[in-house]
Every structure is written in C-alpha cells, then in structure tokens.
Amino acid sequence: MALIAGASAFAAEASRPPPGAGPDCAVRLASLPGWRQDEPAFALEAFRRSCAKAVGSVSLLPACIAVARYGYTNRAARAFFARHFAAARIGAPGSGFLTGYYEPEIRGARAAEARFPTPLYRLPPDLVPLGSAVPRPAGFDPALKAAQRLADGTLVPYPDRAAIEAGALRGEGLEIVYVDPIEAFFAQVQGSVRVRLADGTVLRLGYAGKNGHPYVPIARLLIERGEIARADMTADRLRGWLAAHPDAAPALMNANPSYVFFRIVAGAKPAEGPIGTEGVPLTVGRSLAVDPAFTALGTPLWIDGTRPSAIGADRPLRRLVIAQDTGGAIKGAARGDLFVGTGDKAGRIAGRLKNPMTLYRLVPKGSVAECAP
C-alpha cells in the first residue's frame, strides 16, 4: 500500500528543485529530490501495462520497446528510467496540487430495500457524448459535454443529478445494484466501487460515462456557507455532515449536477486496482489521474511534495508515478490525483491528501534541451 496522506501546506522540509530545472529544459533523474530513495519497481510495472495498452504519446514508443530488456527490481527500474528519460518541471516550484482517490468497498443489494434505496445505473443508450462525431447543437450550453437523443433524433440536455435522483431513469432497466445514497454519491466521485452483497458476492463496478453536466465540488459549497472551515474539510468531515443532516443532504448532493454511470467489470483480479481511463488496472501509489489536455496517458511523472505524518510536520512524498487515469475535477498541467488503494483505510488516506507539490514530466532523453547548471 502507498504510505501517503495529506491535508496541509508545503512543509519547510520540502526540497528545492534541481538548479536550473524548468519547463523548457530537462535535468537528469539522479538530480531529482528523493530519486535514490524511491523504490520504483511498481512504477516500472505500471509503465509496462501502459505500453501493452498503447501509450498516448508516440514519443514514448522507443522506451516501450526497450522496457522488455529490463527486470522487475528497483535497481532495474531506476536504471531503465534514468537511461531513457530526463525530467522537465511543470510550472513553478510548488505550483502543482496533489490529491488522492480510492476505490470504495460498500454494501448493497440487487433489489431496492430500506438500507439500500439508491440505484447505481448502467450507461443509458440515449446518452450521446458531444464532440467531433456529434456536433454541439446550436444554442446548446457550452458547459455540457453530452446530450440525450430523443426518439425523433433531437438532442436535448441530459437529465442532471436532481432529475435522475427524482426518477428520470426509473423503469429503463438500467439498475445494476442498490446502495446507500451517500455511498452512491461517493462512489460516483471516485468513479469505481466494489459492492458486497448479502450472499458474499462482490460486484466490481467501473466508470462507464457521465451525463455531461459540469462537476461541482459540494465540499466547497459547505466551506462557502461556513458549515465547515476550509482547513478542516476532509472527505470524512463531508461524509459526516451528510449523515448528520439527512434532510439537507439530498439538496447538497444535487447541487453537483454531474452524474456518473457504471459498468460491471468482469474477470477483475481482487488484488488489482480498478481500471483507469487508459484501460489498465491502477497501481496503488503509482497511478496518477491527470488532465489529458496537458499530459498524455502513459507518461511517467515525478512528484516532489509532502504528506502529513501522524504527529508533527509534514513528511516528504517523492516518487515516480505513471499517468493512467483522468477525473472531472483534475484540471491543469500540474494537477494530479494519486490512486491510494481500496477500502475504508484508503478512503481516509485519500480524504486527507490535498497538498501542494512540484510536478515533473519525464521526457525522452534528447527531446528537451538540458538545463544549464
């Protein structure tokens, strides 16, 4: 498991970047803070998975071809990345921001009951992503990324969360499983979930799509209302507020109009993470969700940040990760969301990780000029 967490500002012990490092030049990996202390064997395995799936950048193909010649040890991983890559800083030192996410494991039922009244839905067949294949209708809200195709072919905005919770999809046969409403909300935020049924069966559900409405973080709304101080806001505090305010919770959750649909992931190994956007199982502590507008999936990156300790000042968090996932709230070149595992413990870690960082993109050697000493 990843030994990470976070919920504070950069600690004073966070290191300075290598001399001369910047977005327009690259440095040797050996000069990165913490490079020799990292144990990157799992990052190399994650990179192999990306290569097998076909990485999102042609520039990574030579490294993907070469990776078969390397073993599975930390020493081999360090040698591979140092041989084929250099590091270019993304933005100014400390300008990045790191959060964590996880795969919840919750209880549920195949039919609605008092404890589990809220369905998790399959992707509706009338949901149409807007893009080059399906042009945006004239006058359509530019914030909407998908539409509903009616029987006559007309495209209209897809029902938002409030409409879906009120029954807009009821009777369409899209229900996969029924769960607690708060757990359903958090499962959608994470994008994957394991649902344990009364007979011991565990359903593995993965992200299938969303209704196209923009994501609104409801934690921010509580902060703006003065319900919870910004410094005190964590996923556990948010969950606690929702549970303590059953009458107000539905309206708050519905303030986020984005709604996620799921698919059953068949044949998944219990020890493996959920399937990310790239189509490969996520690796605990080594898979990073990124903004694909800035970073191609499959790209190796280096995190230089901090994580809180149980007592005292934050501790360094420096490690090699691979871009293998995306997320609706992950926007910007130096924004990252680290996959931290499955279950309640991982959820507590993920809920606390919200720290500044310096993020480096690993680029093929020779593709970017070397930084001046």
Confidence class of residue 11 from pLDDT cuts 50, 70 and 90? very low
Buried b (16+ CB within 10 A) or exposed e, 237-256: bbbebbeeeeeebbebbbeb
Q: State pLDDT tens for residues 125-145.
A: 999 999 878 888 888 999 999
Distance CA 211, CA 77 (A): 40
Distance CA 93, CA 15 (A): 10
Tell me the backbone φ, ψ of residue 330, rounded to 5 degrees. -95, 100
User: Coil, helix or strand for 42?
Assistant: helix
Distance CA 248, CA 280 (A): 38
Q: State pLDDT tens for residues 202-252.
A: 999 999 999 999 999 999 999 999 999 998 998 889 999 999 999 999 999
pTM of the model: 0.82
Domains of the chain, each with CATH number or no CATH: 29-101+273-364 (2.40.40.10), 105-264 (2.40.240.50)
Q: What is the dihedral of CA 52, 359, 84, 272, to 10 degrees?
A: -30
pLDDT at 249: 98
pLDDT at 132: 79
Can you tell me the mean pLDDT for 48-63? 88
Distance CA 37, CA 313 (A): 20
* For residue 367, pLDDT beyond 60: yes
| Residue type (1 letter), 285 | G
Q: Which residues pair with 121 in a beta bridge?
A: 175
CB 87 within 8 A of CB 371: no
Confidence class of residue 352 from pLDDT cuts 50, 70 and 90? confident
Q: State pLDDT tens for residues 142-170.
A: 999 999 999 999 999 999 999 999 999 99
